[in-house]
Amino acid sequence: MFLSLYHALRALKVPVSLTEWLTLLDGLAKGLHNQSLDDFYYLSRSLLIKDVAYYDAFDQAFNHCFQNRTLPENPAGRERILDWLQSPLARLGLSAEEIARLQTLTLSELLRELGERLREQEGMREGEPAWVGAAGESPFGIDGDDPSGIAFAAESGGERAAQQASARRYRNLRSDLTLGVRQIGVALKRLRDLRDCGAEEVLDLSATIDKTCVNAGEIDLVFSRQRENNLRLVLAMDSGGSMDPFRNISERLFSAANKLNYFKDFRAFYFHNCIYDKLYSNLETDESLPTPEVLREYGKRYRLILVGDAAMASYELLYRGATPESAVSGIDWLSQVAEAFPRRAWLNPLPESSWDSYETVRMVRGLFPMFPLTLEGLTRAVRRLL
C-alpha cells in the first residue's frame, strides 16, 4: 500500500533507490513505525531522503499519499518558468503583483497566459525561455495526473505528520536556487587542500583522548603538525554585455571567494565574452596581464574557475583578429587556457536547458567542464576541481 509514496517521490525527481525502499519495507516489517503515521513519516524520511534539499519534495509526496493532495504539475518545468519571470532576462514587464498572481496558477494556466502575452509582443525572442516552443507548448507536459497511476486513499489519524508535511518548512532548501555569498563560501570551503607543515606543536585533542583511554586514564598529550591550506585559486569572470543581467550573482561569487582567508593564494581576472591576449585585473583602470604570462605563472599549480554565459557571436570565438590586439582566435586562446589548467571548471549563469541552443556554448563545453551557477552546480564543480 505504500508503493504510491515511492512513485510520488520518483515523479518529483527525488533520488530514491530500490535499496533504500527495501530498507524502509524491512523497517516496517520490524514494526519500527510503531503502527503510527507520525512515526512512519519520520522513519520514511530518514531512510529515503539523504539530502535536506529534498525535504520539501518529500512533504509534497507525503501529502499526496496520505492527504489526497494533488502532486505539482511537473514542478521542475513550472519552477523554471517562475524563475525566468523573475530573472533580468524576462522582458514581459510584469509588476511584482502580476508575478505574485502568476505564482498561484497551475502549469497549464501559466503557459496559457504567458503564451497570450508573448503573442502580443511580436518579435520577442531575446531572453525567451527554452520552454516556449513554436506551438506555444511546454516540453514538460501540462497534465497534472499522477504518473504513478496509483490511487491511494487518505488515512485517518496522523494529524501531526500531516501538519508537518503541510507546513513544508523546507521549501527554501532547493539545490537549484541561485547562490548567496554565504552559500558560495560554504561550497568553496570544500576546495581546501589541507597539508601538515612545520613542527609538531599543535595539540591533537582526539589523539590525546584516545591515548589517555589506552593508558587507563593517565594523561598523555599528543602533538601534531599544523595543517596549512595549500589551495591556490584563479577566478576569471566575464564582465559586461550579455553578462550584465548576471552582475549581482557574479559579484556575490567574487565577494565570497575574496573574503575567504584560507586560500594560500587567490587571483581574480576579468575578460569580455572570451579570453584573448590579455586578462584584466582591474577593469576601472584597465590594468591587465598578458594571457601567456598568466598561464605560465598560475597554470598547473592553481585551480581555475571561469564564470560566463559563453553565448557570444561566432566570430568572437572562431575568427582571428576578433579584437584589434589579438591575432589568435578565441577558441585557440581557450584551448591554451584549458591545457595550462588541468583542474578547471566553467560556471554558466544561463539555464542549463538552454546551453545546446548556442553553438559557442557547445564549443566551450568541449574544452571546459561546465556547470550551472546554482548551489547544486557549484557543488558539482567543486567536486570536479578536487
State residue 191's pLDDT score.
67
Q: Judge whether 384 and 369 are in contact, CB under 8 Å.
A: yes
Is the confidence at residue 355, as pLDDT, over 90?
yes
State residue 298's pLDDT score.
92
The mean pLDDT value for 196-212 works out to 72
d(CA 107, CA 116) in angstroms, rounded, equals 14
DSSP string of 329-368, one letter each residue: -HHHHHHHHHHH-SSEEEEE-S-GGGGGG-HHHHHHHTTS
Say which range, 52-56, 302-306, 344-348, has the weakest mean pLDDT: 52-56
Contact residues for 343 (Cβ-Cβ < 8 A; gap 6+):
302, 303, 304, 385
To the nearest whole percent, how much of the chain has pLDDT over 90? Answer: 17
**265: nearest Cα among 290, 301, 291, 308:** 301
State residue 202's pLDDT score.
67
Q: How many helices (H) and strands (E) does the chain have?
A: 16, 9
State residue 5's pLDDT score.
86
Q: 269 phi and psi, to 5 degrees?
A: -135, 160
Q: Which residues pair with 268 in a beta bridge?
A: 235
Res. 14 pLDDT band, cuts 50 70 90: confident
Q: Judge whether 31 and 24 are in contact, CB under 8 Å.
A: no
State residue 369's pLDDT score.
95
Res. 206 pLDDT band, cuts 50 70 90: confident
Q: Judge whether 111 and 137 are in contact, CB under 8 Å.
A: yes
Say which range, 45-54, 84-93, 94-103, 167-176, has the weakest mean pLDDT: 167-176
State residue 124's pLDDT score.
45
Res. 162 pLDDT band, cuts 50 70 90: low
153 or 244, higher pLDDT: 244
What average pLDDT does the chain have? Answer: 75
Contact residues for 345 (Cβ-Cβ < 8 A; gap 6+):
304, 305, 306, 368, 369, 370, 371, 381, 382, 384, 385
Map out the domains of the chain with their CATH numbers.
3-71+146-173 (no CATH), 194-228 (no CATH), 230-385 (3.40.50)
Is the confidence at residue 306, as pLDDT, over 90?
yes
The mean pLDDT value for 173-194 works out to 59
The model's pLDDT over 72-81, given as tens digits with 9 standing for 90+, comes to 655 555 666 7
Q: Which residues pair with 229 in a beta bridge?
A: 194
Q: Please, where are the H alpha helices in 67-153? A: 75-85, 96-102, 107-120
The model's pLDDT over 265-304, given as tens digits with 9 standing for 90+, comes to 888 899 988 999 999 988 778 889 999 999 999 988 898 9
In a 13 Å sphere around the CA of 7, the CA atoms on its Cβ side amount to 15
Res. 135 pLDDT band, cuts 50 70 90: very low
* Exposure string over 161-171, b if 16+ CB within 10 A, otherwise e: bbebbeeeebe
To the nearest whole percent, how much of the chain has pLDDT over 70? Answer: 66
Q: Judge whether 206 and 222 are in contact, CB under 8 Å.
A: no
pTM: 0.54
Measured on CA atoms in the order 347, 348, 351, 357, is the torsion positive or negative? negative
E strand intervals along the chain: 194-203, 223-229, 232-238, 265-271, 278-282, 287-290, 303-307, 344-348, 370-372
- For 286, other C-beta atoms within 10 Å of its C-beta total 9
C-alpha cell at 120: 502580443
Is the confidence at residue 370, as pLDDT, over 80?
yes
Is the confidence at residue 220, as pLDDT, over 70?
yes
Q: Judge whether 254 and 265 are in contact, CB under 8 Å.
A: no
Contact residues for 61 (Cβ-Cβ < 8 A; gap 6+):
5, 8, 9, 11, 12, 14, 71
Tell me the chain's radius of gyration from C-alpha atoms. Answer: 26
**89: nearest Cα among 53, 59, 55, 127:** 127
Is the confidence at residue 321, as pLDDT, over 70?
no
State residue 341's pLDDT score.
95
C-alpha cell at 34: 510503531
Q: How far is CA 269 from CA 154, 185, 235, 276, in A?
A: 58, 19, 6, 12
Distance from chain centroid for Cα 36: 36
